[in-house]
Amino acid sequence: MTPPPRQLSLPLAVLAAVLGAFTGLAGAQCSDPGLQAARGAYRNCASSATGAFQDELDGCLERDRTCVDACRTEQQDCRDGTKLGADLAACRLELEASKERCRDRFRVGSNRREACIDRAQAAGFRCRRHAARGARRALRDCRSSFTQCASACAPGGPPEGLAACREEARSVHQAALLECRTTFQVTVSGRVNRDVTCVQGCGDAREVCNAPTRTILDDAIAGCKAQRNADVAACRAANPGGGSALEECIEAAQADAFTCRAAALDAAAPGFGACTAANVGCIRACPPAERTSDRAMP
Range in 75-79, 82-86, 139-143, 291-295 with the lowest mean pLDDT: 291-295
Mean pLDDT of 148-152: 96
Query: CA-CA distances (angstroms) from residue 44 to 18, 31, 184, 196?
Result: 20, 19, 11, 22
Q: For residue 158, which phi and psi values (nearest 5 degrees)?
A: -65, 145
Q: What is the mean predicted confidence (pLDDT) over 165-170?
A: 94
Q: For residues 9 and 36, give the distance between their C-alpha atoms in angstroms, rounded to a whole number.
A: 25
Q: Is the pLDDT of residue 32 over 80?
A: no
Residue 28 has pLDDT above 90, yes or no: no
Residue 33 has pLDDT above 70, yes or no: yes
Q: How far apart are CA 98 and CA 266, in angstroms?
A: 32
- As a whole number of angstroms, the distance between CA 1 and CA 21 comes to 31
Tell me: pLDDT of 242 over 60.
yes
Q: Which are the contacts of 128, defined by CB distance < 8 A and separation ≥ 6?
A: 40, 44, 88, 91
pLDDT digits (tens, 9 = 90+) for 190-223: 888 899 899 999 999 999 999 999 999 999 999 9
The rounded distance, in Å, linking the Cα atoms of 153 and 59 is 12
Can you give the length of the chain in residues? 298
Question: pLDDT per residue over 59-105, tens digit each?
Answer: 899 999 999 999 999 999 999 999 999 999 999 999 999 999 999 99
Distance CA 153, CA 66 (A): 9
- Note the pLDDT of residue 127: 95
**pLDDT at 207 (0 to 100):** 92
pTM of the model: 0.80
Domain extents in the chain: 194-298
